[in-house]
């Protein structure tokens, strides 16, 4: 398979996954597990190296999403924010 065909196949896979709310939620859960927007600092140099490596996977994935599916990526972030807002609202303690 040529490099161009491989890229088309990958882009089609991303389009398929990002084309549904459950697919976007799955991808966002993967990004969150990679701590893609958090500081990777750790006291131990081994832990720091591990954290940076895991974070790199998330950043690479997010870059792919933005490049191939910008509108669905925006939808994914909006849906995630709505999900987080709902969780926070459930956790609020009534006065």
Confidence of residue 24 (pLDDT cuts 50, 70, 90): very high
* Tokens representing residue 7 in the block: 């890229």
Taking only the tens place, the pLDDT of each residue in 36-95 is: 999 999 999 999 999 999 999 999 999 999 999 999 999 999 999 999 999 999 998 776
Give the start-to-end residue ranges of the domains of the chain.
42-68
């Amino acid at each position: 398979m040529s490099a161009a065909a491989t890229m088309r196949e990958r882009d089609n896979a991303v389009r398929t996954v990002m084309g549904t709310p459950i697919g976007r939620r799955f991808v966002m859960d993967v990004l969150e597990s990679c701590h893609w927007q958090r500081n990777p600092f750790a006291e131990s140099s081994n832990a720091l190296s591990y954290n940076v490596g895991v974070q790199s996977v998330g950043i690479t994935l997010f870059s792919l999403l933005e490049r191939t599916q910008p509108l669905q990526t925006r939808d994914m972030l909006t849906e995630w924010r709505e999900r987080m807002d709902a969780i926070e609202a459930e956790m609020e303690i009534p006065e």
